[in-house]
Amino acid sequence: MRLLLAFIAVPLIEIGLFIQIGGAIGLWPTLVIVLLTAIAGTWLVRSQGAQTLRNLQSSFQNTKDPTEPLAHGAMILFAGALLLTPGFFTDAVGFLLLFPPFRMFVMHNIRSRLKNSNINFKTSPARPGKPDADVIEGQFKPVSPEDGPSGWTKD
C-alpha cells in the first residue's frame, strides 16, 4: 500500500513543483536547472560509486563485513536513478542520498527496524528416509599442529 501511495504521490509532487517553479522563473530556466542537476548528479554518483567500490574491495581484502559498503552502494545507485528522473523532488531526495551522513542516518534507521522486527525463517522438516538438504555428511580426522601441515595449505 505504501508503494502505491509513493507511485501516486511522487508524480503529483513533481507536477506541482514544475508548475510552481516554472511559473516563478519561466520554462527555459526550469528546464536548464533540471538538466544541470541530472549532469551534476551523474558526476557525483560516478565519483561516490567509485569510492564505495574501493571501500567494498578493501573490506573483502581485509575480511571485514561488507554490509556497510554494499548498503552505501545500493543507496548511491538509487540516488543516481532519482537524479536521472526529471523533477525537483526526486533530485532533492537523490542529492540527500549522496550525502554520506544522511546515508548513515538511513542505514541506522533500517538497522534498528530490522533488529526490532520478528523474522522467522521457515525451514522444511526432515523427511523420513531422505536427508535434510542443509546437512552435509562427511568424515574428519582431528589434526594437531604437531602432526604437520594438514595438506589444505601451501607450505
10-residue averages of pLDDT along the chain (155 residues): 90 93 93 91 89 87 84 90 90 92 91 71 55 70 71 62
Residue 39: inside a domain, yes or no? yes
The reply to whether the predicted model has a pTM over 0.85 is: no
- Say what the pLDDT of residue 149 is: 67
Q: How many domains does the chain have?
A: 1
- Say what the pLDDT of residue 69 is: 86
- Say what the pLDDT of residue 79 is: 92
Left if phi > 0, otherwise alpha if psi is -120 to 50, otherwise beta: which for 61? alpha
- Say what the pLDDT of residue 153 is: 63
Domain span including residue 72: 21-113
Residue at 74: amino acid letter: A
Residue 44: inside a domain, yes or no? yes
Residue 146: inside a domain, yes or no? no
Residue 155: inside a domain, yes or no? no
- Say what the pLDDT of residue 58 is: 87
- Say what the pLDDT of residue 33 is: 92
Distance between CA atoms of residues 27 and 126, nearest Å: 67
Distance between CA atoms of residues 67 and 74, nearest Å: 11
Number of helices (H), then strands (E), belonging to the chain: the values are 5, 0
